[in-house]
């Protein structure tokens, strides 16, 4: 019976080697799948997971904006800081500090997340609040929002009420102040 024990030992050894090789192959496959799936994660989905937390947003034309992330919508987010609020156009965001390590898939977002940057700006226009519209090139227009078009916002500036049209493609952030 010595040769049978030796044969079973060889077969057990081969089986363990096969399991180890499968485990290595499976680990590599899982890592590849993880990388492939993560490429589907968007900045907005990471921000949705960060709602309610304090973050810092580096925004082209506006600098570092810090505060509590209140809401994220399609192409924008609402940030509340001490004495001011920001509507930030996501294409102008260069970096995010202190975001959640998690992500929320778009299908799990609240219905209000489907609102566009235009919807958020219409709320400010309806309120008649004084604000500063900052553009990605560093420009600033101080006034009140008048009307919001499909791809631009009207800003009434100065005492004469001069009207400036700001294209959404140039928009970085809109700062409103608590009064």
pLDDT, tens digit, for every residue of 66-121?
999 999 999 999 999 988 899 999 999 999 999 999 999 888 899 888 899 999 99
What is the torsion angle, in degrees rounded to the nearest 10, for the CA atoms of residue 94, residue 61, residue 113 and residue 118? -150
43-177 architecture in CATH?
A: Roll (2.30)
Assigned token pair, 102: 């998690």
Q: Give the residue with greater pLDDT, 56 vs 11.
A: 56
Residue 95 to residue 42: CA distance in whole angstroms: 13
Partner residues linked to 88 by β-bridges: 77, 173
- The pLDDT, as a whole number, for residue 33 is 65
- The pLDDT, as a whole number, for residue 12 is 72
**Tokens 């493609």 correspond to what residue?**
169
Residue 114 to residue 110: CA distance in whole angstroms: 8
Domain residue spans of the chain: 1-40, 43-177
């Amino acid at each position: 019976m010595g040769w049978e024990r030796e044969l079973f030992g060889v077969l057990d050894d081969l089986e363990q080697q096969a399991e180890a090789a499968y485990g290595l192959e499976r680990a590599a496959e899982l890592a590849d799948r993880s990388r492939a799936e993560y490429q589907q994660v968007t900045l907005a989905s990471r921000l949705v997971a960060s709602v309610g937390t304090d973050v810092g947003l580096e925004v082209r034309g506006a600098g570092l904006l810090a505060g509590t992330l209140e809401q994220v919508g399609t192409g924008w987010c609402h940030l509340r800081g001490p004495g001011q609020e920001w509507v930030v156009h996501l294409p102008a965001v260069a970096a995010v500090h202190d975001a959640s390590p998690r992500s929320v898939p778009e299908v799990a977002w609240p219905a209000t997340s489907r609102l566009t940057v235009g919807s958020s700006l219409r709320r400010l226009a309806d309120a008649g609040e004084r604000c500063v519209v900052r553009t990605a090139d560093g420009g600033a227009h101080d006034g009140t929002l008048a009307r919001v078009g499909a791809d631009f916002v009207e800003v009434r500036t100065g005492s004469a009420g001069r009207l400036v049209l700001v294209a959404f493609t140039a928009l970085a952030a809109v700062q409103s102040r608590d009064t």
